[in-house]
Amino acid sequence: MLHVSTDINHLIAEPAADPDFPHAPLDWTREAAEAVAQAEGLALTADHWETVRALQSYYAQHADDSVITLRELHDALNESFHHKGGLRYLYALFPGGPVAQACRIAGLKPPYIAVDRGFGSVA
């Protein structure tokens, strides 16, 4: 699986347009995130945006990894938001799963098996 960093077009592209989201994917906008959230029945708050920034930052820091695993991302989110309640807090924010649903809103591809079509969101 190729990451964004291996595509020359992404390497030479302009920096992120939104200074509040410096690690956002190049084609991501707040408006797109709000549209996804609205379609999923969420009203985005400052806490949601903080999670989006954390996910985008994690993906940017691990852009050279061959695979971002569900377990590692889950653990990183739990650690980042431990002071607010960890994963329990994040599941309250993102009832569709703090990895699967939040990745969709952040414009990121969720890790493999974050969503099981036969069961639903597992993360």
Indicate the length of the chain as a whole number.
123
| Number of compact structural domains in the chain | 1
Question: Does 50 have pLDDT greater than 90?
Answer: yes
d(CA 106, CA 73): 14
Question: How would you classify residue 94: left for phi > 0, otherwise alpha for psi between -120 and 50, otherwise beta?
Answer: beta
pLDDT tens for 3-13 read: 555 566 655 55
Q: What is the pTM of this model?
A: 0.78
pLDDT band at 49 (very low <50, low <70, confident <90, very high): very high
**Burial classification of residue 106, based on how many CB atoms lie within 10 Å of its CB (0-12 exposed, 13-18 middle, 19 or more buried):** buried
Q: What is the pLDDT of residue 9?
A: 61
pLDDT tens for 61-107 read: 988 877 888 889 999 999 999 999 999 999 999 998 899 999 999 99
* Host domain of residue 40: 4-121
Kindly state the average pLDDT of the residues 53-60: 94
